[in-house]
Amino acid sequence: MAIKIALAGNPNSGKTTLFNVLTGSNQFVGNWPGVTVEKKEGRLKGYKDVTIIDLPGIYSLSPYSLEEIISRNYLLEEKPDVILNIIDGTNLERNLFLTTQLLDMGIPVVAAVNMIDVVEKAGDVINLEEMTKALGCKVLAVSALKGRGVREAAETAVRASVQAAGNIPCVFSAPVERALDKITALLGDRVPQTQGRFCALKVFERDAKFAEKISLPGAEALIQEAENARGDDAETIITEERYHYITGILPKLLKKKPRGTLSPSDKIDRVVTNRFAALPIFAVVIFLVYFISVTTVGTWVTDWTNDGLFGEGWHLTGGGAFVEAMEAFEAGGLAEEPAPEDFGLWAPGIPVVVGGWLEAAGTADWLNGLILDGIIAGVGAVLGFVPQMLVLFIFLAALEACGYMARIAFILDRIFRRFGLSGRSFIPMLISTGCGIPGVMASRTIENEHDRRMTVMTATFMPCGAKLPIIALISGAVLGGTWWVAPSAYFLGVFSVILSGIILKKTKIFAGDPSPFVMELPAYHLPTVTNILRSMGERVWSFIRKAGTVILVSAVIIWFLSSFGFTGDGFGMVEDLNQGLLAALGGAVAWIFTPLGFGTWDATVATITGLVAKENVVGTMGVLYGYAETAEDGAEFWDAFAANFTVISAYAFLAFNLLCAPCFAAIGAIKREMNNAKWTWFALAYQTAYAYVAALVIYQLGTFFSGGGFGAGTVFGFAAVALLAYLLVRKPAGKTKPAETSRRAAV
C-alpha cells in the first residue's frame, strides 16, 4: 500500500535537511498544482511505496502567505496518510503553535524534535514522554544534521499512517468550544468528518480563503456571540488561547539551564548584525568569497584544468625541466621548440587526443573543424570554468548552511525598506546567485503584487553561476586577474536591484507600501560536508548538463555560421571568419553596441547568443578565437580576445551581459510568474534598457575621466547620469506610508 508522508514545520527548523537524509538521491522536483513554486518529493530509502513530500516552511496554517496556502491546501485536498512535524527544539513555544494546528486537521501526526544535539549542548532537557502525553501524538528526538534518530522518526511515521488520528490536545474556552460545535453541525457533510474541527476553526476565524469555498451564513451570529463573551475578535481569540495552552504545558516539557550570559549565536549576532558593523562585514565576506573563487584558488584550479584537460596536456613528471627548456627556446638558446613528451610522463589533453584520432582516421577538414573548433572549443571554453564554480558554490552553500545568509537578509531588509523595497526580495536575489530561474520562481511567495513583479524584474541582475565564466574571462583575459572584478560584479547586481527599486517604486504602477518581512534567524552551527557537497553538486551538475545540451548545440551552430559564407567561389567554408555568415549577421547590428565600447561583430554575436544561455558568451568566444587550438596555457586565446577590448570597454561588456535580459529559460520563468505578455515584455525591456544605460555610463564616462577626450558619447553618458539622478530624487507618483521596521523572529 502506497503511503504519503508530509513533512511540515517552521522555516529553518531543519525540515529540508531531514528530507535529504531520508530520501537521498530518490528525489524529484515539480511544481505545486496551479502555482510555480517548487515542491520536492522523494521515496523513503528502503521503502518502494513510501513517498515523502517536503511542504514549504510555514509558521501557521493561516492564509497570510503563499507557502501557508500551499501547505494547507495540500493537507486538506491531497490528504497525506501522516504528517511528520519537524519542531525546532531550541524554540518550542513558537514551533508548537503550528503543531497544535496540525493536530486539529484529523490526520495522524508524529512530532520530531530536531536539533536535539544543540539543546543538549546548551544544558537544556526536553521531556519527550511528557510531551507525547500533552500533544496526544508520538514525539521523538532527532538531529537531522547528524542523522540521529532520523530513521526511527520516519519508521514511526510509517506505522502511524495506518492508525487513527489522536485526540485534540488544545481545548479552547467554553464560549469558543460551544461556537465550534455548532459550526461543525452547520457544516454537516460538506467536509469530511475528520476535517470538521479544523474547518469549523477556519469559519470561526473568518478565513477569507476558506469562505471562498464554503459559505455558512448562520455561523456569523455564533462567532459574534463568542466574541462578545471574550471581548475580542475571533482570530485573536484563537491565537491567544493556543499560546495560553502552549505556555501552560511548556514548564512540564522543557527544563532550561540557567544562563547568566548570552548564547554563542547571540554573541556573534551582536557583531555581525550590528547597525554599523553589519554592512562592512557583509562586504568583506562577499569580497573574500568571490576573490578566492575567481582570483586565487578557483583560478589556479581552472588554469590547471584548461592547460591540461582542454589544452596540450599535463606534465606529470619533468615539468620543471620542460619549463626551463621553453624559456631557453623563447630566449633563443635552443634552435627547436622542445616537445613535452621528451621531459618525462605526459598526459595529452582532449584536443590533442581527439586531433590525433581525426588525423589518423583521415577525416575531412570540415569535420575536423566541427569537432575541434566547434564542439571542443565551444563546450571546453565553458567547462574550463567549472573549478571556479565549484569553489564559489562551496562557499555559498557553507554560508547558507551555517545561518549567516539568513542574517544577510535581515541586514539588507533594513536597507531595502528605506527605499520602499521588501526584505523578502533578498531571498530571490540570494537564490539567483546559483541560478536565476528558481530565483524568479521564489518571488512568488511575496504577497504584494507590486513588490513581486518588481522582484521578478530585478532578481536576475545578480550574477548567477552561468555568468561566472564571463566574469572570469574578463578578469583573466583583459584585466590580468585583477582582484576587484569578481566582487564588484556581485555588488553591481545588488546596487542595480536597489537603484531599480527606488526608481520603480516612484512610478504609479509600483507605488505602495512594501510587504512585511518576518524571518527566522536560526542558531549558528557548523555545516556538514555532506550537505555542502550536495548543494554544490546540484548546482554544478545543472551547469554541466546545460553545457552538454544547450551549449553543445549552440557551439555547433556558431561554428557553422562562422565557418561558412559566400565568397567569389560561391557558398562554402571560409578561411577568414570575417567572411562568414556570422560576421555578416553580427556586423548588421554591431553599431548598436558601439557607444558601449564593444561594437565588433564577434562581441555582438557573443552577447546575442548569451540570450540562449549566458554560458554561450564564453562558448562563442571559444569558437571564434580557436580555443581548442590555442589553449596550451590559455594565453593565446585570452590575448586574441583581449585585443578587441580596453579595460573600460571590457568592464562595460561585462556589465551589459550581467544586467541585460537573462537566458531563454529564465525568460520563460519570468513569463510564468508575470502570467501576462505585456508585463513580460516590460520586464525584458527594462532589464535591457537598464543594462544599456549602465554600460554606456561605464564606458563613456570611464573613457572621459581616464583622458579619452570629450565627444558625443560623453554627452550621452552625462545625460544618462542626469536622467538617473532625476528618477531617483523625483517625488513618488503616489503617497506611501513610512517604511515599517522589519520584524525579527529571534531564536
pTM score: 0.66
pLDDT for position 740: 40
CB 403 within 8 A of CB 521: yes
Residue that is written with C-alpha cell 530520501 in the block? 23
Please say if the pLDDT value at position 734 is more than 70.
Answer: no
| All cell numbers assigned to 66 | 503563499
Q: Mention every residue, 6+ apart, whose C-beta is less than 8 A from residue 615.
A: 382, 466, 469, 543, 546, 547, 550, 551
Closest CA to 313 of 361, 345, 337: 345
pLDDT for position 471: 86
Closest CA to 718 of 703, 736, 733: 703
Residue that is written with C-alpha cell 571546453 in the block? 380
pLDDT for position 658: 92
> To the nearest 10°, the Cα dihedral for 418, 419, 423, 428?
-160
CB 469 within 8 A of CB 385: yes
pLDDT tens digits for 529-558?
Answer: 887 887 788 778 777 776 667 777 877 888
pLDDT tens digits for 332-365?
Answer: 878 787 776 666 656 666 777 777 787 788 787 7
pLDDT for position 36: 47
- The span from the first CA to the last CA of the chain, in angstroms, equals 40
- Give the integer Cα–Cα distance in Å for 517 and 42: 31
CB 102 within 8 A of CB 85: yes
pLDDT tens digits for 261-308?
Answer: 677 788 888 888 888 888 888 888 888 888 887 777 766 666 666 666
- Give the integer Cα–Cα distance in Å for 317 and 296: 24
pLDDT tens digits for 6-16?
Answer: 999 888 788 88
**Bridge partners for 40 per DSSP:** 29, 54
| All cell numbers assigned to 463 | 550574477
Q: Mention every residue, 6+ apart, whose C-beta is less than 8 A from residue 28.
A: 40, 41, 42
Please say if the pLDDT value at position 69 is more than 90.
Answer: no
pLDDT for position 632: 38
- Give the integer Cα–Cα distance in Å for 375 and 379: 6
- Give the integer Cα–Cα distance in Å for 197 and 335: 92
pLDDT for position 306: 60
DSSP assigned state of 376: I
pLDDT for position 727: 86
Residues making up the chain, counted from first to last: 747
Q: What is the mean pLDDT of the chain?
A: 80
**What CATH topology corresponds to 3-160?**
Rossmann fold (3.40.50)
| All cell numbers assigned to 467 | 555568468
Comparing 201-215, 439-453, 575-589, 701-715, which segment has the lowest mean pLDDT?
Answer: 439-453
Residue that is written with C-alpha cell 555610463 in the block? 697
Residue 681 burial (CB count, 10 A): 13
Q: CA 306: distance to chain centroid?
A: 28
Q: Are strands 50-54 and 518-520 parallel, antiparallel or unpaired?
A: unpaired
pLDDT tens digits for 432-465?
Answer: 877 777 778 777 767 677 888 888 888 889 888 7
Comparing 519 with 507, which gets the higher pLDDT?
507
Domain boundaries, the chain: 3-160, 174-255
Please say if the pLDDT value at position 701 is more than 70.
Answer: yes
Q: Mention every residue, 6+ apart, whose C-beta is less than 8 A from residue 314.
A: 307, 308, 346, 347, 349
Confidence of residue 692 (pLDDT cuts 50, 70, 90): very high
- Give the integer Cα–Cα distance in Å for 105 and 103: 6
Quick one: residue 528, left, alpha or beta (phi over 0 = left, psi -120 to 50 = alpha)?
Answer: beta
pLDDT tens digits for 164-183?
Answer: 777 777 888 888 888 988 98
Please say if the pLDDT value at position 489 is more than 60.
Answer: yes
Please say if the pLDDT value at position 110 is more than 90.
Answer: yes
**Bridge partners for 86 per DSSP:** 9, 112
CB 51 within 8 A of CB 3: yes
- Give the integer Cα–Cα distance in Å for 584 and 315: 42
Helices (H), 574-676: 581-589, 601-609, 616-624, 627-630, 635-642, 647-659, 664-674
- Give the integer Cα–Cα distance in Å for 582 and 231: 76
- Give the integer Cα–Cα distance in Å for 229 and 242: 17
| All cell numbers assigned to 162 | 495506518
Strands of 196-260 (E only): list them: 254-255
Confidence of residue 744 (pLDDT cuts 50, 70, 90): very low
Geometric angle at alpha carbon 710, from 704 and 713, rounded to 5°: 85
User: Hey, do 3-160 and 174-255 end up sharing a CATH topology, with the first three levels equal?
Assistant: no
Q: At residue 730, what is the residue type? A: R
DSSP assigned state of 14: S
Comparing 75-84, 302-311, 421-430, which segment has the lowest mean pLDDT?
Answer: 302-311
Determine the 3-state secondary structure of 548 from DSSP. Answer: coil
Closest CA to 292 of 382, 385, 388: 388
Determine the 3-state secondary structure of 43 from DSSP. Answer: strand
Helix (H) or strand (E) holding 350: helix 350-361
**What CATH topology corresponds to 174-255?**
Helix Hairpins (1.10.287)
Please say if the pLDDT value at position 745 is more than 60.
Answer: no
Closest CA to 139 of 110, 162, 163, 116: 110
- Give the integer Cα–Cα distance in Å for 700 and 677: 34
DSSP assigned state of 126: E
